[in-house]
Chain A
Amino acid sequence: MHPALSVIFLTTLIGAGQGLFLALFTGESYAAINIIPEQRHQFFAVGGLIVLMLLIAGLVASFFHLGHPERAWRAVTQWRTSWLSREVIILPLVMLLVALWSIAHYLEWNPTLLGMELGSEITLTLGAVTSAAVFLLYIATAMIYASIRFLREWASPLTVINFTLLGAASGFLLATAYATNYAQNLVNFYGGWAMILTLAAWFSRSAALIRNARLKPKSTIQSAIGIRHSQIAQKSMGMMGGSYNTREYFHGASRMVLRLIKWLALVLTFPLPLLLIWFGMSSDNAQLILIALFVQYLGLLFERWLFFAQANHPQNIYYQTVG
């Protein structure tokens, strides 16, 4: 498939935003049971704002993918059958919940009910609901791709696992970088999680790459035109100036470039950030963590590009030779 920048930015930005929320909420809930030191409300309120900005940035990017963004509201109607529709519903829902959660923190909302102070119960409950919605959003985003059964590079549970782990890893790394400024006592906590998640994502993304390398196409030129012969060669695809079919479904990069991007994606997303986080944490160097964040995001852009480029659409069988 042809990787569209709008979708690359959409999926990486909201993935990181969702991950950051999970990180913030993990911090909040761990603190509630006194495993880690408690943070000021402002830490969560500002963090929530960053999550929101990432989600909005992703949403804006997604509009560039649409021919008629002004009709986008129609996309909420087919949630019964379409994962895209489900994503379109869950994304604003997550935004709303994150906004409520951040506002509750910002106002340090502490209503009393029947003489009891609710205090952190409210944000904890709201945060738990939001986290559930965040996971649903990961699933919905990934299922858009994983549900197309003949794009076999995508049609695997690994797609859902990768979107979730990669998003969470970048989100926790972002939380680490955020903590270096505003909550130094959480840097190791977030950094540790960022490393664990990055490692897990490295493992599952590699599994997907290995799976892709071993896939045998189900459709062949024989099944595509229904002629039983071992020697079939296309002599003309019916037009010479190209068409949507030749533009949308081919990445157009050479083998060399594809391999280069694969290695860039792997190195920038996994080992390099891991090393940087490790050194950053052990030498208390906030700069290194920030560099790790940008290196990994860059890696994720390449990773997402590769994700699209590697998907080999069966329609390509019909578009092998111009004429």
Chain B
Amino acid sequence: MTQLALVIDLNVCVGCHACVTSCKEWNTSGVAGPLFDDNPYDANPTGTFFNRVQTFEIGTFPKTETVHFPKSCLHCEDPPCVPVCPTGASYKRREDGIVLVDYDKCIGCKYCSWACPYGAREIDEQQRVMKKCTLCVDRLYDASLPESERKPSCVLACPTQARIYGDIHDADSAASMAIRERGGYQLMPEWGTQPANHYLPRRKTELHIHADELVRSDNPLKKEDIRKGPSREVNLDDWMF
């Protein structure tokens, strides 16, 4: 079974919101109709987004770290939002594990959004149906796009490659490898929802340089080999010219 997902690297996310805007742009222009904004040009602009980037400060000043935290539907493997839907509008695709809402069936009762512990669903106040991240399902299988672009819009937009897309049930996918080798974890594991999306933790980036590394013979730049002045020793050139 396939379970498509995102792995988000909190170690490199710089909180630029490029994923937020590219998500909004792609998903407001698709066949499902616009993702509405309410009062976009007024005092309190608000609207429906699939993806948000939040910022947290860890520690006490001055010893603090800033963590930017992109947040969208995690396409849970055991999604509590699906069984509660009275109409069957919310469903999880068997073939790739994406959790979707059928906007033509949804009655806008909001029950699914109550049943998502992550607050990943947002109602569209104008279409009056529930909306959430689709993992850009309308890109993933679009044969008219070049293969390299058959990825979620946010993944393509991220300037730091903080978003890794792939099948987490395929042990060899980039996503699975990142989870396995870089300590990928799930959000709120206490509810047993088994989020498919994972997050990679912050890491300390330290550079250890030993003295022998600077002077070793295979130093690629030969930096330490530069001679101070011209040599007076007779060399092969003196004989040739």
Q: How many A-B residue pairs have CB under 8 A?
A: 176
Q: Given A68-B128, A81-B84, A82-B83, are A244 and B113 neighbors across the interface (CB < 8 Å)?
A: yes
- From B58, B67, B106, B111, A84 is in contact (CB under 8 Å) with B111
Verify A234–B54 contact, CB threshold 8 A: yes
A243: chain B residues at CB < 8 Å are 46-49, 52, 122
**For residue A71, which residues in chain B have a CB less than 8 angstroms away from its CB?**
87, 105-107
A67–B128 Cα gap in the complex (Å)?
5
Q: Is A237 an interface residue (CB 8 A)?
A: yes
- Assess whether A5 is interfacial by the CB under 8 Å rule: no
Given contacts A219-B188, A238-B71, contact A232 B56 (CB under 8 A): yes
Q: Could you give, for residues 25-48 of chain B, a 1 whenever the CB lies within 8 Å of some chain A CB and a 0 otherwise?
A: 000000000000001000111111
Tell me the bound Cα distance from A234 to B52 in angstroms.
Answer: 14
Chain B residue with Cβ nearest A65: B109
CB 8 Å contact bits of B106-123 with A (1 = contact, 0 = none)? 111111011111110111
- With known contacts A68-B108, A74-B88, A242–B187 Cβ distance under 8 A: no
A82 to B91 alpha-carbon distance, docked (Å): 13
A78 B85 Cβ-Cβ under 8 A: yes
Determine the chain B residues whose CB is within 8 A of the CB of A227 once the complex forms: 10, 56, 58, 67, 201-202
Which of B20, B83, B106 meets A238, CB within 8 Å?
Answer: B20
CB-based contact B56/A225 at 8 Å: yes
CA separation between A242 and B199, bound complex, in Å? Answer: 25
A74-B87 contact given A245-B122, A319-B119, CB 8 Å threshold: yes
Question: Given the known A-B contacts A226-B187, A236-B54, are A315 and B116 also in contact in the complex, defined by CB atoms under 8 Å?
Answer: yes
Known A-B contacts A68-B129, A319-B119; the reply to A85 vs B187 at CB < 8 A is no
B104 closest partner in A (C-beta): A71
Complex Cα distance, B87 from A226, in Å, reads 33
Q: Are A245 and B54 interface neighbours, CB within 8 A?
A: no
Assuming the contacts A235-B57, A319-B119, asked whether A67 and B129 have C-beta atoms less than 8 A apart, the reply is yes
> From A69, which residue of chain B is reached at the shortest CB distance?
B107
Q: Which of A21-29, A146-154, A198-206, A255-263 contacts B (4 or more CB under 8 A)?
A: A146-154
For residue B186, CB closer than 8 A to chain A, the reply is yes
Q: Chain A contacts of B186 at CB under 8 A?
A: 226
A313 at the interface (CB under 8 A from B): yes
Question: Which of B46, B52, B107 has a CB less than 8 Å from the CB of A66?
Answer: B107
CA distance A226 to B88 in the complex (A): 32
> Are B114 and A1 in contact (CB-based, < 8 A)?
yes
Give the chain A neighbours of B108 by CB distance below 8 A: 66-68
Q: How far is the CB of B14 from chain A (nearest CB, A)?
A: 14
A314 contacts chain B at the CB level, 8 A cutoff? yes
B128 proximity list for chain A (CB < 8 A): 67-68
* Residues in B whose Cβ lies below 8 Å from that of A316: 119
Question: Any chain B CB within 8 A of the CB of A224?
Answer: yes
14 interchain pairs (CB within 8 A)? A65-B109, A67-B107, A68-B128, A75-B86, A77-B87, A150-B191, A231-B58, A232-B58, A234-B55, A236-B55, A244-B113, A248-B110, A313-B114, A314-B118
Contacts A226-B187, A227-B58 known; 19 new A-B pairs at CB < 8 A: A65-B109, A66-B109, A67-B106, A71-B106, A74-B105, A74-B107, A76-B86, A77-B86, A148-B115, A224-B188, A225-B69, A235-B57, A235-B66, A238-B55, A241-B39, A241-B46, A243-B48, A314-B191, A315-B116
Which A residues fall within an 8 A CB radius of B? 1, 65-69, 71-72, 74-78, 81-85, 88, 144, 147-151, 218-219, 221, 223-227, 229, 231-245, 248-249, 313-316, 318-319, 323
Residues of B whose CB lies within 8 Å of any CB of A are: 10, 17, 20, 39, 43-49, 52-60, 66-67, 69, 71, 80, 83-89, 105-111, 113-119, 121-123, 125, 127-129, 185-191, 199, 201-202
